[in-house]
């Protein structure tokens, strides 16, 4: 039995694990990827000097966290996909590693499972050749593979970062097609003064924009009606700017509209969630320390609300301090002393978010796509079908199951859940908060019968 189990080895999980070990807690970290790093620092322990130059100094900050993790006494189990959790004291976490299931027990549990790309349902987004911008980054970070002749489309700072990284690698994208407009920027300006507390982040963004210009990468802003064309493979991206239709021939189209918290586990555990209107996503409800409605269960990092990698590391340290305190390992004096810096850092990082959310809003046509657009990739359900079922009486996502199978494929609604909720809210003239998200059940990842059989009670 461990004092603490951490799921996820991104900045939040890595920082949490080394802090826990420093305070003498016994700790194990489970992560489904082959190496620590999470999404932002993917492949950080395996990156050679050439790739380091392409990825930039921000990426290299992950090395310190990874070294901290390696130097700690935490047991790190990579390639471990968690698919079931039993709450209570102790918590029991079930995972599979190379097809072999196993479980671990702990007195406290930290979920540091990060974010997912927000779905970008536009015509043709299911075609081979269409990927998320995050996927483009993962290809580069973990494999050193990049697409030639790609178009980047959508909005948000991650698109600038990826474009710059591609240019540094000698394969700049053909164009950056952005959905936000000048009007959005003007609307965001009142939020700028508060955002100045996080001036480092803003400065970095401006640096990226300057580098984009230096590389001569073509930018379109205020793009509307994005559509991927192609029969069996993406062939072009078409879009309108100010009434003119454009078409860029490209075999790879990388889409992005920001990231949203990965709530698979917190929802399966039936924890309380809140609708965040700025992020247009659901977040698990926690106190200031990251403890959820379930005692001794904490959420840290982007999984608790999108605040970025620096904030994730701070939150990872803070939840561990509070967990150590709750387990009686550190007194309140030490708790306060050790947490001041990270609380301050967290609040500075978070102050930039309202500005970014306003400057890079998700277009209504992407939140609530046209009838013919596929919403649920797994079961090929369109927005029109969901609207139809809503009009036929489905009030919430769980009732849709009486009509069809949206959200019931292997991805378990990861890339359609939010869109489905927005569409139901639109038809019923209510808010996403009222509609809610679909209920989830373990296993959180498809497991084989063999894996389930191997966990038969008599083997326990």
Partner 1 sequence: MKPVFRNLDDGPQVLIRFDGQEISLPEGANLAAALLAAGISRFRGTMVSGASRGPFCMMGACYDCLVELDGVTRQACQMRVEAGMDLRSGGADV
Ligand X SMILES: Cc1cc2nc3c(=O)[nH]c(=O)nc-3n(C[C@H](O)[C@H](O)[C@H](O)COP(=O)(O)OP(=O)(O)OC[C@H]3O[C@@H](n4cnc5c(N)ncnc54)[C@H](O)[C@@H]3O)c2cc1C
Residues near ligand X, by CB under 6 A: 7-13, 30-33, 38-40, 80-82, 112-117, 134, 137-138, 158, 161, 259, 301-303, 308-309, 312, 444
- Residues ≥6 apart with Cβ < 8 Å to 94: 82, 83, 84, 85, 101, 102, 103, 442, 455
Residues 289-348 that bind partner 1 (CB under 8 A): none
362 binds, among ligand X, partner 1, none (CB under 5 to 8 A by kind): none
Report the distance separating Cα 282 and Cα 302, nearest Å.
12
Place of tokens 């483009």: 136
Helix (H) or strand (E) holding 359: helix 353-359
Q: Does residue 379 bind partner 1 (CB under 8 A)?
A: yes
410 binds, among partner 1, ligand X, none (CB under 5 to 8 A by kind): partner 1
Dihedral of CA 400/406/412/418: which sign?
Answer: negative
308 binds, among ligand X, partner 1, none (CB under 5 to 8 A by kind): ligand X
Q: Does residue 256 bind partner 1 (CB under 8 A)?
A: no
Least distance in Å: CB of 6 to partner 1? 18
Report the distance separating Cα 105 and Cα 94, nearest Å.
9
Q: Output the six-digit token pair for 8.
A: 């996820």
Q: Does residue 398 bind partner 1 (CB under 8 A)?
A: no
Least distance in Å: CB of 350 to ligand X? 13
- Residues ≥6 apart with Cβ < 8 Å to 64: none
* Stretch of 102-110, 126-134, 154-162, 213-221 lying at the interface with partner 1 (CB under 8 A): 126-134
Q: Does residue 391 bind partner 1 (CB under 8 A)?
A: no
Q: Largest Cα–Cα distance of the chain, in whole Å?
A: 67
Site size toward partner 1 (CB under 8 A) is 55
Report the distance separating Cα 431 and Cα 433, nearest Å.
5
268 binds, among ligand X, partner 1, none (CB under 5 to 8 A by kind): none
**Position among 34, 190, 193, 295 found at the interface with partner 1 (CB under 8 A):** 34
Q: Output the six-digit token pair for 456.
A: 């038969």
Residue closer to partner 1 by CB (options 197, 445) is 445
| Residue 35 burial (CB count, 10 A) | 17
Q: Does residue 138 bind partner 1 (CB under 8 A)?
A: yes
Label each residue of 26-92 as H, E or C.
Answer: CEEEEECCCCCCCCCCCCHHHCCHHHHHHHCHHHHHHHHHHHHHHHCCCEEEECEEEEEEECCCCEE
**Position among 3, 32, 349, 426 found at the interface with partner 1 (CB under 8 A):** 32
Helix (H) or strand (E) holding 13: helix 11-22
Least distance in Å: CB of 82 to partner 1? 12
Residue closer to partner 1 by CB (options 43, 68) is 43
Report the distance separating Cα 267 and Cα 285, nearest Å.
11
Least distance in Å: CB of 111 to partner 1? 16
Phi, psi of 370 (to 5 degrees): -65, 155
Report the distance separating Cα 82 and Cα 92, nearest Å.
11
**Position among 18, 39, 180, 339 found at the interface with partner 1 (CB under 8 A):** 39
217 binds, among partner 1, ligand X, none (CB under 5 to 8 A by kind): none
**Position among 163, 415, 426, 435 found at the interface with partner 1 (CB under 8 A):** 415
**Position among 143, 430, 431, 434 found at the interface with partner 1 (CB under 8 A):** 143
Q: Does residue 192 bind partner 1 (CB under 8 A)?
A: no
Helix (H) or strand (E) holding 253: strand 252-257
**Position among 15, 65, 304, 378 found at the interface with partner 1 (CB under 8 A):** 378
Residue closer to partner 1 by CB (options 336, 380) is 380
| Residue 113 burial (CB count, 10 A) | 29
Residues 62-81 that bind partner 1 (CB under 8 A): 81
Binding positions for partner 1, rule: CB under 8 A = 32-34, 39, 48, 50-51, 54, 81, 116-117, 126-132, 134-135, 138-140, 142-150, 169, 171, 232-236, 249-252, 377-380, 409-411, 414-415, 445-446, 448
């Amino acid at each position: 039995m461990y004092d603490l189990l951490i799921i996820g080895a991104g900045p939040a999980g890595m920082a949490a694990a080394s802090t826990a070990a420093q305070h003498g807690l016994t700790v194990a970290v489970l992560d489904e990827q082959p190496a620590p790093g999470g999404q932002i620092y993917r492949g950080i322990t395996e990156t050679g000097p050439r790739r380091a130059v392409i990825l930039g100094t921000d990426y290299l900050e992950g090395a310190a966290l990874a070294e901290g993790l390696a130097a700690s006494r935490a047991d790190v189990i990579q390639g471990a996909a968690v698919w079931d959790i039993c709450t209570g004291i102790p918590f029991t976490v079930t995972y599979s590693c190379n097809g072999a299931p196993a479980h671990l027990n702990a007195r406290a549990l930290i979920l540091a499972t990060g974010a997912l790309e927000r779905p970008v349902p536009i015509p043709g987004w299911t075609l081979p050749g269409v990927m998320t911008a995050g996927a483009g980054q993962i290809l580069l970070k973990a494999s050193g593979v990049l697409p030639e002749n790609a178009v980047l489309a959508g909005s948000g700072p991650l698109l600038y970062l990826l474009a710059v990284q591609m240019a540094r690698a000698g394969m700049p994208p053909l164009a950056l097609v952005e959905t936000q407009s000048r009007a959005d920027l003007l609307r965001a300006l009142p939020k700028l003064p508060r955002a100045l507390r996080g001036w480092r982040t803003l400065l970095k963004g401006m640096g990226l924009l300057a580098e984009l210009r230096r590389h001569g990468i073509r930018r379109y802003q205020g793009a509307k009606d994005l559509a991927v064309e192609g029969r069996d493979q993406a062939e072009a991206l078409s879009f309108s700017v100010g009434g003119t239709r454009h078409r860029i021939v490209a075999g790879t189209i990388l889409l992005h509209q920001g990231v949203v918290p990965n709530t698979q586990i917190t929802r399966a555990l039936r924890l309380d969630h809140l609708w965040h209107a700025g992020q247009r996503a659901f977040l698990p409800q926690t106190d200031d320390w990251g403890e959820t409605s379930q005692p001794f269960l904490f959420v840290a990092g982007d999984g608790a609300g999108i605040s970025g990698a620096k904030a994730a590391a701070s939150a990872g340290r803070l939840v561990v301090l509070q967990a150590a305190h709750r387990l009686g390992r550190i007194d309140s004096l030490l708790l306060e002393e050790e947490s001041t810096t990270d609380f301050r850092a967290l609040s500075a990082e978070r102050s930039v978010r309202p500005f970014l959310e306003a400057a890079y809003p998700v277009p209504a046509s992407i939140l609530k796509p046209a009838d013919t657009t596929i919403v649920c990739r797994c079961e090929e359900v369109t927005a029109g079908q969901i609207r139809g079922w809503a009009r036929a009486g489905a009030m919430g996502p769980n009732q849709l199951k009486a009509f069809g199978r949206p959200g019931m494929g292997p991805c378990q609604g990861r890339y359609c859940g939010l869109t489905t909720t927005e569409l139901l809210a639109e038809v019923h003239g209510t808010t996403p908060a009222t509609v809610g998200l679909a209920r989830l059940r373990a296993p959180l990842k498809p497991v084989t019968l063999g894996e389930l059989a191997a966990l038969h009670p008599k083997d326990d």
